Structure 1
Amino acid sequence: MFTKKISILVALIVSTCFQSLFAQNLYSKAYGDRKNPPLIYIHGGPRGNSTLFEGTTAQKLADLGFFVIVYDRRGEGRSTDGSAKLTFNEASHDINDIIKQYGLKKVSLIGHSFGGIVSTFFTNQNPEKVDRLILVGALFAQQESYDHVLRTASKTAIAKNDTVSIHKIEYINSLDKRGAEYRQLTYEIASRFGYFKMPEPTEESKRVNKEYETGEFSKSNIRNNQAPILFYKNESSVNIDTKPILRSLPRKGVKLFAVYGANDGIFSSRQISDLEKITGKKNLHIIQNCSHYPFVDQRSQFLKIMKSVMEEKSKAPLI
């Protein structure tokens, strides 16, 4: 009996040490009063980090009366971890640890870009822990987005007689659609054709970008180029369509909202229409003169929308 008690004690000590070590490896930071409604920002990727949101918007959002938490996923950005698998289950495990670390019971999630898929998976697995899921320029039907980018870019390239882009798109279309190279080159095409840029930068957007680029957070904009490779190696759920999951969330008690730029080139009008049917027209916010980064392109408007979203009590239609 005494030996058994010693074994249990050792196991508890090892477990505690592991959790402390894990907490040290996972970068996170909170802004605002912890008594306020908690919001966790989940960044894009794989290969991303939270520096852009943290350096431009986290404190501003906290000033509106929210407890804002940002973090970099394991193996990405400032959360260096050579043993990271970059899977959705691993990401969900880390979100659970963030919630425990800050002593929270129920949170709202802001899922940006690829972070929209991460947050959707987590919410589906842990609906009792999520009050609101807020998709911001979030992926929800990956292959539809990739097809849209390549199809529209091809039309533009042909019209401009851009043979370099035409050949590159042809090469991309020959690749395995479930591979890292296909995803990477598709986004390179999207960047080349300005799919991530707001059409007419405002004085505010210029100021916000400059503040970030000349500030401390841009210096921490760490990118792990191996992250996408590890994700496609270790994760079986790639190029997925999360619309069925999103439809089910209101029935699980989760309030669903979406904030998208009207000029975000990686989504077709049909995709946005499909999303509206899921969220309901009232819960889908489209920002004009705005692309993939609403919290930078139109920060003031984004903050107003976030405040209204957090105060909204209605749910998306049950589908």
Structure 2
Amino acid sequence: MSESQFVTVHGHRRAYALGGRDLGTAPVLLLLHGLGCDRHTWDPVWARLAEHYTLLAPDLLGHGESAKPRGDYSPGGYANGMRDLLTILGIDKVTVMGHSFGGAVAMQFAYQFPERTERLVLVDPGGLGPEVTPLIRALGLPGYDLALRLITLPGVRQVNTAVLRTLGRSGLPGLRDLDEVAAIVDSFKDPGKRYAVHKLVSGVMDWRGQNITMRDRAYLTEAMPLCIVWGAHDRVLPVAHAEAVAEVAPTAQVTVITDAGHFPHKDQPEAFADLIDGFMASTAPASYSRAKWGRLLKNGGPAHLSSVEPASELA
């Protein structure tokens, strides 16, 4: 991945990496990481994607090297921040690709700024159903800060992360994501990061699960190419959510990668990159039409909404 670059937006430092093909000569991929992660989640596919695209990978506010202020950590707030970053960098339109919570931000960006969105790629995204692992729901509960401070105390943190990484290397499909969890746990030693993640989680879910959804607005993707990628062994967000996408967005390309967990771009980077290349080559970038957008909103969805294509699978 390219070296960190920084820009100040509304008084807060934003970190990002910009690389790949020269800006203006190739499609731009805006890569959005998930909750508790940072832009380095895309490292396994960076070099491959950089062969064909301009890549912009920011650290979302409250994560990585970006500032961690008391502020707006909602999907809409993040979408606004991405719009502002693109404007500062002189980038007009992007294919926005989001993983996990970054998928929810990507959905919100496409909804708020369809005139700046050419395609939408969602990788094991949040925002497609209430189900989510209880471990994430717990981050929104009272007492979260004390619990996280205890598990990230010096010595305790090293033991916890070592155990998680060992389990992650066990080869068991249900444990394959624990090495990523270890990195997230280690990052919680930063009180600003703990605050940001708590605000983020408490804003998008309660004890029953996720309370935001794109399902009621998924019909709008008829005007925009949509690709969904899911790991078959995801224990954070169930792969059944991919079927929900197929029901409400029948024009979407939906693929389940069989030998992957919550991070299919890490588990199967070549297959993932091939999939993105195929999607980009087989679709034309969306061209925003206020009239078409208005018709979709007025009608409340495409006439063929009941036509559903089954998800394909990649080994």
Q: Using structure 2 for the length normalisation, give the TM-score.
A: 0.66
Q: 1:135 aligns with which of 122, 129, 144?
A: 122
Equivalent residues of 2:14, 2:67 under 8 A apart = yes
Equivalent residues of 1:195, 1:291 under 8 A apart = no
Shift in Å, 1:267: 3.8
Q: 2:221 and 2:9 mapped to 1: Cα distance?
A: 36
- SS state at 2:218 partner: helix
Equivalent residues of 2:232, 2:257 under 8 A apart = yes
Corresponding residue for residue 31 of structure 2:
41
Q: Which amino acid is 1:242 matched to? A: T
Q: 2:44 aligns with which of 39, 56, 59?
A: 56
Equivalent residues of 1:261, 1:286 under 8 A apart = yes
Q: Does 1:70 align with 2:70?
A: no
Shift in Å, 1:279: 4.1
Change (3 A) 1:232 1:196: farther
Q: 1:227 aligns with which of 182, 196, 202?
A: 196
Equivalent residues of 2:106, 2:120 under 8 A apart = yes
Q: Using structure 1 for the length normalisation, give the TM-score.
A: 0.65
Q: 1:145 and 1:197 mapped to 2: Cα distance?
A: 23
Higher relative CO (Cα under 8 Å, sequence separation at least 6) belongs to 1
Say which structure is richer in helix. Answer: 1
Change (3 A) 1:303 1:226: same
Corresponding residue for residue 31 of structure 1:
19
Q: 2:257 and 2:217 mapped to 1: Cα distance?
A: 21
Equivalent residues of 2:110, 2:117 under 8 A apart = yes
Q: 2:69 and 2:201 mapped to 1: Cα distance?
A: 16
Q: 1:95 and 1:137 mapped to 2: Cα distance?
A: 20
Shift in Å, 1:196: 11
What do residues 218-274 of structure 1 show as CA deviations (whole Å, max 9, x unaligned)? x999961221223356x47762242425523224x2211101111112344543321
Describe how 1:205-224 pairs up with structure 2 within 5 A: 224=193
Count of aligned positions? 251
Shift in Å, 1:145: 2.9
Q: Which amino acid is 1:41 matched to? A: L
Q: 2:211 aligns with which of 223, 240, 248?
A: 240
What do residues 192-238 of structure 1 show as CA deviations (whole Å, max 9, x unaligned)? 9x89997469xxx9xxx9xxx9xxxxx999961221223356x4776
Q: 2:108 and 2:9 mapped to 1: Cα distance?
A: 25
Change (3 A) 1:255 1:196: farther
Q: 1:300 aligns with which of 254, 263, 270?
A: 270
Q: 1:273 aligns with which of 239, 243, 252?
A: 243
Q: Which runs of 5+ in 1 are unaligned?
A: 1-18, 151-168, 214-218
RMSD value, Cα: 4.1
Describe how 1:189-200 pairs up with structure 2 within 5 A: 199=172
Equivalent residues of 1:199, 1:263 under 8 A apart = no
Q: 1:288 aligns with which of 258, 279, 303?
A: 258
Instruction: Return the index of the structure with the highest Cα Rg.
Output: 1
Q: 2:189 and 2:56 mapped to 1: Cα distance?
A: 19
Identity %: 21
- SS state at 2:120 partner: strand
Say which structure is richer in strand. Answer: 2
Q: 1:130 and 1:41 mapped to 2: Cα distance?
A: 13
Shift in Å, 1:79: 0.2
Equivalent residues of 1:28, 1:72 under 8 A apart = yes
User: Higher mean Cα deviation, 88-97 or 114-123?
Assistant: 88-97
Shift in Å, 1:275: 1.9
Q: Which runs of 5+ in 2 are unaligned?
A: 1-6, 149-159, 287-300, 306-315
Q: 1:196 and 1:116 mapped to 2: Cα distance?
A: 26
Corresponding residue for residue 85 of structure 1:
72
